[in-house]
Amino acid sequence: MKTKDKIIHCALKLFNEQGERQITTNHIAADLGISPGNLYYHFSNKQEIIRSIFQLYVEQLEASFRPHADQRLTLEHLTSYLDASFELMWRFRFMYANLLELLARDPQLEEQYQALQQELANWSRDILLQLRDSRFITGDDATMMELADSVKFIIGAWIAYQSAQLKGGEITKARLYQGVLKILFTLRPYFTEESQHTYQGLYQHYVKFAERNK
Amino acid sequence: MKTKDKIIHCALKLFNEQGERQITTNHIAADLGISPGNLYYHFSNKQEIIRSIFQLYVEQLEASFRPHADQRLTLEHLTSYLDASFELMWRFRFMYANLLELLARDPQLEEQYQALQQELANWSRDILLQLRDSRFITGDDATMMELADSVKFIIGAWIAYQSAQLKGGEITKARLYQGVLKILFTLRPYFTEESQHTYQGLYQHYVKFAERNK
Amino acid sequence: MKTKDKIIHCALKLFNEQGERQITTNHIAADLGISPGNLYYHFSNKQEIIRSIFQLYVEQLEASFRPHADQRLTLEHLTSYLDASFELMWRFRFMYANLLELLARDPQLEEQYQALQQELANWSRDILLQLRDSRFITGDDATMMELADSVKFIIGAWIAYQSAQLKGGEITKARLYQGVLKILFTLRPYFTEESQHTYQGLYQHYVKFAERNK
Amino acid sequence: MKTKDKIIHCALKLFNEQGERQITTNHIAADLGISPGNLYYHFSNKQEIIRSIFQLYVEQLEASFRPHADQRLTLEHLTSYLDASFELMWRFRFMYANLLELLARDPQLEEQYQALQQELANWSRDILLQLRDSRFITGDDATMMELADSVKFIIGAWIAYQSAQLKGGEITKARLYQGVLKILFTLRPYFTEESQHTYQGLYQHYVKFAERNK
DNA sequence: CATGAATGAGGTTTCATTCAT
DNA sequence: GATGAATGAAACCTCATTCAT
């Protein structure tokens, strides 16, 4: 790994652990065992490091969400998407802890973030429509749109919400995956009669998962 | 208004406008036209100002949510509760923009926040059970619990989520009230046959409201 | 007691306990339950409080050292003088902890202090000459002068020296009275043959005293 | 000389001249012509500078007092020790002007200081016992112990005592070396018959020295 | 006599960033 | 690529002192 990448990953680690505000560029350099001058050789300022982290986030997000081509969507696909997105949020959780501050400080980042949100909205909508096509769920178009927005909302807001509930802010994997349960619960009323069984299976799977990770 | 209160309100205003991080104690003093020493006469440090703002938030929240005594709960009550809580969040929106940072920095605040969240959880649960008693909605106990948690989640996360979607972070009242719509949408599948009509009325009311404030 | 005197005594207490540097005028006012404004009504600045404390010290010192008129000096007189002076130093110990700083900051105080030191020198010399007249001790004039200076030196330096040896700076009475023993030890070689017995009695008295107060 | 050392020496100089309390970190930086930030690059706070000065003092002290190995102790050795220790005290005189304050503020420093005092006590005792072995002085063990303590006391307290006697606190070398005379005077009664001559020689040497430097 | 809010200069410290090597 | 000393603006906070009441 190149120094530039090391800086990005080290910064991400420290930001997640202690918050972006408490971590100075000197902390990052010290943690890596490099000089502050060297850090500034690779990045012209702290904000650029944050932008690079965001870039990494976008890349990983898009890789996860790239649709499985022509395959028919199964519920397993859905949950694997959900798993991936929650994992991702976990890896970049400092961003969610400070999102508004970060965006307010950096219009360029704000623009990128909002473009990404649009992509996520489309993706969320497509998934739901596919689920309807496959008769897992049912509902009119407007309902599907609103439901897609709910899903996107839960994904985007879950980490910050949960972290704030927990002493020391240290969220666990179990708490993280309750976000998936929350999405399933929100979709439940729209599951068709014949997929109730599938729903139950999925739900129990995550309940067990959460219990194992308590 | 006493200087102490002026400081609290001025700080709240500036924090909402520019973020807590960018506003220094000197900014607050300058905005009020008082000396930094005077500010420190009333508050022993910046954190204490933040705590006082939080105190104000708690007081206003509890005033809004104090149940309407023995009256039967109508949907109008529900929405007036929702209106109040979204308004409140709007008035204290900087807290939601930085919640995790604020809590991480101040264990005392964290404790108070988490106690408040517990109250909100109870309140949310009670409302839903009353709605079920009044046959507006239906569902087993577990469902009611989960639904109550969803409502609390939406209330707690909506501002930060919406602000992040908007250029300049400047959320509008219309966007704010879409949070109420989101709650209604989440409850919809559980509305009884006979209250569908009530639901539609409410929903349309907020849709119109949102449109007016676009 | 008038407010003015209360301020002096309170300041003395706090200075002794925590050091003059750490005690602000507001601390003094708060400890007395009066307003800072009131404190400044009685004293025009902090330095004046210190000067008043010094004045009190001078008065008490002079009262203690006022010679017992025409009486012949006994060793009991000597030790009662020593007791008194060590007690006094104990009551005004903060001054010894900071003497140079205090004098450097306040030329007026410096002048008074140095005048007092001259008085002490005279007094010390007189005592020793009287002791020689009474054939307790023996030695030529130069020796008596030097011895008198040694006594004055021990009195003036003992508290600061001993406090620095002790964890937490909290000197005990026992340690304080070892200063008297140190003076006696310094005089010992000059005691006449016939007063050796008296010397032993005195010395043992203070040794026991010190042990009792350990 | 490295910047770090320059800071230590500059701080020592300014502290000696004006007192630690009046010298701010900005004064030190300004006097050196460096930025305050640079000072804080080398020392994390003012206290650390003080600790480093103390460290320097300890090193110089230990270098001076390291016994002249296997050689027999002569009175010349003794006085060269005394000279060295008084010189040292002179170089670090601000510490003696504020000793109690400094120790009260910094428990780590207090511990080091008290360990050093223990070393000095041992050193003082060893010298006196060697002098007795060499028949310069005479006396029982208890007397030697008490005498050793007197010597240590004079060394430790002389500067503060003398400075307080002098207008402007500006002690001269002559006054400083009277501390050596005071020690010699204190030892005099214990000098053996045969070394009286040596004593006189030494004493006169310092008297002349003092007169030259008046 | 007394109150207590207010002042403001200045102290300690932080930290993103620069620059000579 | 890399070092690490250096910068300087600015943050937070203190405290002796003032002043209207």
Query: pLDDT tens digits for B75-112?
Result: 777 888 888 888 898 899 899 888 888 998 899 999 99
Is the domain of D94 the same as that of D183? yes
Nucleotide nearest B20, from its CA to each C1' = F11
* Banded pLDDT at B214 (limits 50, 70, 90): low
CB atoms within 10 A of CB D180: 25
Q: Do B165 and A114 touch (CB under 8 A)?
A: yes
Q: Is the Cβ atom of C168 within 7 Å of strand E at any atom?
A: no
Put simply, whether B113 touches A (Cβ < 8 Å) is yes
B113, amino acid identity: Y
Rounded alpha-carbon distances, angstroms, from residue A41 to A5, A29, A31, D198: 13, 12, 17, 72
Is the domain of A50 the same as that of A93? yes
Contact partners, residue A168, CB within 8 Å, separation at least 6: none
Candidates D114, D124, D9; CA nearest to D58 is: D114
| Distance between A169 CA and the closest CA of chain B, angstroms | 7
Chain E nucleotides close to protein (CB under 7 A) are 1-20
Put simply, whether A185 touches B (Cβ < 8 Å) is yes
Q: Is the Cβ atom of A36 within 7 Å of strand E at any atom?
A: yes
Which of A191-200, B146-155, B164-173, C11-20 is predicted least confidently? B164-173
Touching chains, A (3+ CB pairs < 8 A):
B
Is the domain of B191 the same as that of B132? yes
Is the domain of C133 the same as that of C152? yes
Query: How many Å apart are B24 CA and F9 C1'?
Result: 14
Q: Among the residues of chain D, which ranges form H helices?
A: 3-18, 25-32, 36-42, 46-65, 75-91, 93-97, 99-105, 107-133, 141-165, 173-187, 196-212
Establish whether chain A is in contact with chain C, requiring a minimum of 3 CB pairs below 8 angstroms: no
Is the domain of D13 the same as that of D119? no
Instruction: Retrieve residue B179's tokens.
Output: 């949070």
Is the domain of D35 the same as that of D65? no
3-state helix, strand, coil in chain A (%, to 5): 80, 0, 20
Is the domain of C188 the same as that of C89? yes
3-state SS, C10-41, equals HHHHHHHHHCCCCCCHHHHHHHHCCCHHHHHH
The reported pLDDT for the residue numbered C70 is 60
Question: Which among C98, C167, C185 has the least Cβ separation from residue D101?
Answer: C98
Q: Domain of B135: which CATH number?
A: 1.10.357.10
pLDDT in tens, D84-108: 888 898 899 899 888 888 998 899 9
Instruction: Retrieve residue A197's tokens.
Output: 């069984």
Q: Do A117 and B161 touch (CB under 8 A)?
A: no
CB environment C98-108: b (16+ within 10 A), e (fewer): bbbbbbbebee
Average pLDDT on C135-158 reads 94
Please tell me the total count of domains within chain C.
2
Q: Is the Cβ atom of B200 within 7 Å of strand F at any atom?
A: no
Q: Is the pLDDT of residue D14 over 90?
A: yes
pLDDT in tens, A130-140: 899 989 999 99
The reported pLDDT for the residue numbered D214 is 65
Query: How many Å apart are D14 CA and E15 C1'?
Result: 28
Question: Which among C158, C165, C185 has the least Cβ separation from residue D114?
Answer: C165
Q: Is the pLDDT of residue C165 over 80?
A: yes
- Kindly list the residues from chain D whose CB atom is less than 8 angstroms away from the CB atom of residue C183: none
Q: What is d(CA A159, CA A176) in angstroms, rounded to the nearest whole number? A: 7
Instruction: Retrieve residue B85's tokens.
Output: 């809580």
Establish whether chain C is in contact with chain B, requiring a minimum of 3 CB pairs below 8 angstroms: no
Chain position carrying tokens 């070398």? D173
Q: What is d(CA D118, CA D114) in angstroms, rounded to the nearest whole number? A: 6
Q: Is the Cβ atom of B26 within 7 Å of strand F at any atom?
A: yes
Q: What is d(CA B95, CA B102) in angstroms, rounded to the nearest whole number? A: 8
Chain F nucleotides close to protein (CB under 7 A) are 1-20
The reported pLDDT for the residue numbered D80 is 82
pLDDT in tens, B4-49: 999 999 999 999 999 999 999 999 999 999 999 999 999 999 999 9
Number of residues that make up chain D: 214
Q: Do D19 and C101 touch (CB under 8 A)?
A: yes
Low-confidence stretches of chain A (pLDDT beneath 50): none
Put simply, whether D99 touches C (Cβ < 8 Å) is yes
Q: Which residue is nearest to nucleotide E18 (CA to C1')?
A: A37
Establish whether chain D is in contact with chain A, requiring a minimum of 3 CB pairs below 8 angstroms: no
Q: Is the Cβ atom of B42 within 7 Å of strand E at any atom?
A: yes
Nucleotide nearest A23, from its CA to each C1' = E15
Residue B72 is classified by DSSP as P
Query: How many Å apart are B49 CA and E2 C1'?
Result: 30
Average pLDDT on C180-201 reads 92
Supply the mean pLDDT for chain B.
90
Contact partners, residue D26, CB within 8 Å, separation at least 6: D36
Is the domain of A104 the same as that of A140? yes
Q: For residue C65, give its domain range.
A: 45-212
Which has more pLDDT, D56 or C177? D56
Query: How many Å apart are A6 CA and F2 C1'?
Result: 15
Q: What is d(CA C97, CA B5) in angstroms, rounded to the nearest whole number? A: 43
Q: Do C169 and D103 touch (CB under 8 A)?
A: yes
Is the domain of A40 the same as that of A55? no
Q: Do A167 and B21 touch (CB under 8 A)?
A: no
Average pLDDT on D143-155 reads 95
Contact C17, C92 (CB under 8 A): no
Q: What is d(CA B64, CA C61) in angstroms, rounded to the nearest whole number? A: 69
Touching chains, B (3+ CB pairs < 8 A):
A
Nearest CA in chain C to D108: C167
- Contacts by B168-174, CB closer than 8 A, 24 or more apart: B169/A100, B169/A103, B169/A104, B169/A110, B169/B97, B171/B90, B171/B93, B172/B213, B172/B214, B173/B90, B173/B213, B174/B209, B174/B210, B174/B211, B174/B212, B174/B213, B174/B214
Nearest CA in chain D to C17: D104
Rounded alpha-carbon distances, angstroms, from residue C161 to C96, C195, D117, D154, D161: 9, 30, 11, 9, 10
Q: What is d(CA D63, CA D84) in angstroms, rounded to the nearest whole number? A: 10
CB atoms within 10 A of CB B128: 26
* Banded pLDDT at B70 (limits 50, 70, 90): low
Residue C71 is classified by DSSP as S
Q: What is d(CA A157, CA A164) in angstroms, rounded to the nearest whole number? A: 11
Q: Do B99 and A150 touch (CB under 8 A)?
A: no
CB atoms within 10 A of CB B34: 17
Average pLDDT on D71-76 reads 72
Put simply, whether A9 touches B (Cβ < 8 Å) is no
Nucleotide nearest B4, from its CA to each C1' = E5
Is the domain of D97 the same as that of D36? no
Put simply, whether D63 touches C (Cβ < 8 Å) is no
Rounded alpha-carbon distances, angstroms, from residue A53 to A31, A43, A59, A159: 17, 12, 10, 18
Nearest CA in chain C to D106: C168
Q: Domain of A27: which CATH number?
A: 1.10.10.60
Put simply, whether B189 touches A (Cβ < 8 Å) is yes
Rounded alpha-carbon distances, angstroms, from residue B58 to A27, B49, B109, B128, C95: 36, 14, 11, 22, 50
Residue B1 is classified by DSSP as -
pLDDT in tens, B107-138: 999 999 999 999 999 989 998 998 999 899 99
3-state helix, strand, coil in chain C (%, to 5): 80, 0, 20
> For chains A and B, what is the number of CB pairs under 8 angstroms?
90
Is the domain of B80 the same as that of B150? yes
Contact B21, B98 (CB under 8 A): yes
Q: Is the Cβ atom of B196 within 7 Å of strand F at any atom?
A: no
Is the domain of D5 the same as that of D64? no
Highest mean pLDDT (candidates A162-176, C153-167, D40-54, D74-88): D40-54
